[in-house]
Amino acid sequence: MKRIGIIGGSGYTGSELLRILTAHPKVEVVAVTSRKYEGKSIDEVLPFLKGFYDLKFVDPDVRNFDGCDLVFTAVPHGEAMNYVPELLDAGIKVVDLSADYRLSREVYERVYGEHKAYLEAVYGLPEVHGERVRKAELVANPGCYPTGCILSVYPLKDFIERVVFDCKSGITGAGAKPSDFTHYPNLHEAIVPYKVTNHRHVYEMIQELECSVSFTPQVYPGSRGILTVAHVFLKDEVKDNLNEKEIKKLYEKFYAEKPFVRLQESIRLSWVRGSNFCDISIKFDGERIVAISAIDNLVKGASGQAIQNMNLMLGFDEREGLFTPPLFP
Ligand SMILES: NC(=O)c1ccc[n+]([C@@H]2O[C@H](COP(=O)([O-])OP(=O)(O)OC[C@H]3O[C@@H](n4cnc5c(N)ncnc54)[C@H](OP(=O)(O)O)[C@@H]3O)[C@@H](O)[C@H]2O)c1
């Protein structure tokens, strides 16, 4: 059994890591942190996990991870960088769920501010960078929106002139700490656009897709899920030479060996909930390709993808402990 640690185990992505890892046959979680709940048992803080762990939360001192093979850092951006270099120095592999290692230093500092401990990492989108993830010591798990957006159009990458992503996310995307924005009456029966032209996740999309990208995030009043509608405008030289059948063939070919991407005729968030799948459907009206994707933001958009990366980094099949059907209805 490989030994696993989690920094930030009491948050939404941390507790989702704990939930999914209960079913993993080849790893054991041996240390989980929370500063707020240090000394309390996992059962007490996360009653939905009662009966699965006999562990208490510890403080995030890196020495608590001695002997671990891999640690997940599931903490806010700007905080992961306080732990990652020390973990790597101790010979421990890291999957970081924050934004701290997803971008070049130059772009990170322009978008997020000063980086105190920059290191090169592999961008952990296994469908695109799987071979590099296998050899990586540090993997930067992608953002939730970028995962759904990039996967929805990646097979078209060489042909895209411009793409417009219109995304709707469940409220857990904002983390476990309540705020005015996430307060129930403020979101109930509402779909709320926010950071309409300036959400930081767009820089990951530009980095991976290398084309003109527009992105508008919205929150819908559900807990989990990101529905992305991508409006794709093709380069002139290919526009007249592609039809819907050929476009679908490109997707089938690209995702043929990718077990967590499913091509569907239509899309529902409820068909991926609780699972690591990214479902994608494609339509073409002659001018514009409409590629729609659905993910669970806490699974394929965060902790499931982080475990998929862990599987590759530890030499397991990427499906290990993850290939389970969604929760429906
Ligand atoms: N929610 C999503 O859908 C989603 C998707 C993709 C990526 N992410 C990214 O994943 C990371 C975690 O997100 P989340 O939604 O799980 O956040 P969250 O619910 O707010 O949880 C944050 C966790 O980090 C711990 N923490 C906070 N500051 C810390 C520090 N300085 N040192 C050590 N631990 C600290 C907190 O516990 P204590 O304060 O008790 O220590 C808590 O366990 C973020 O970077 C987020 O952007 C989130």
Q: Whose CA is nearest to atom 28 of ligand 1?
A: 75
Q: What local confidence, expressed as pLDDT, does residue 241 receive? A: 86
Instruction: Pick the closest to residue 140 from 313, 5, 284 (CA basis).
Output: 313
Q: What angle do CA 62, 67, 70 make, to 5 degrees?
A: 75
Yes or no: say if 21 and 29 are a contact pair by the CB < 8 Å rule: yes
Inter-axis angle of helices 202-209 and 144-153, nearest 10: 30
Cα of 243 from ligand 1 centre, angstroms: 43
146 lines ligand 1 (CB under 6 A): no
pLDDT at 282 over 90: yes
34 lines ligand 1 (CB under 6 A): yes
Cα of 80 from ligand 1 centre, angstroms: 9
pLDDT in tens, 29-68: 999 999 999 999 999 999 999 999 999 999 999 999 999 9
Active site residues: 144
pLDDT in tens, 169-211: 999 999 999 999 999 999 999 999 999 999 999 999 999 999 9
> What domains are there in the chain, each with its CATH number?
2-120 (3.40.50.720), 145-297 (3.30.360.10)
259 lines ligand 1 (CB under 6 A): no
Cα of 83 from ligand 1 centre, angstroms: 13
List CB contacts of 120: < 8 A, sequence separation 6 or more: 138
Return the structure tokens found at 43.
Answer: 């059962």
Cα of 13 from ligand 1 centre, angstroms: 7
Phi first, then psi: give them for residue 177, nearest 5 degrees: -80, 125
Q: What local confidence, expressed as pLDDT, does residue 1 receive? A: 97
pLDDT at 231 over 90: yes
176 lines ligand 1 (CB under 6 A): yes
Substitution site in 6, 7, 10, 13 for ligand 1 pocket (most atoms within 8 Å of beta carbon):
13
- Average pLDDT of the chain to the nearest whole number: 97
Phi first, then psi: give them for residue 294, nearest 5 degrees: -135, 130
15 lines ligand 1 (CB under 6 A): no
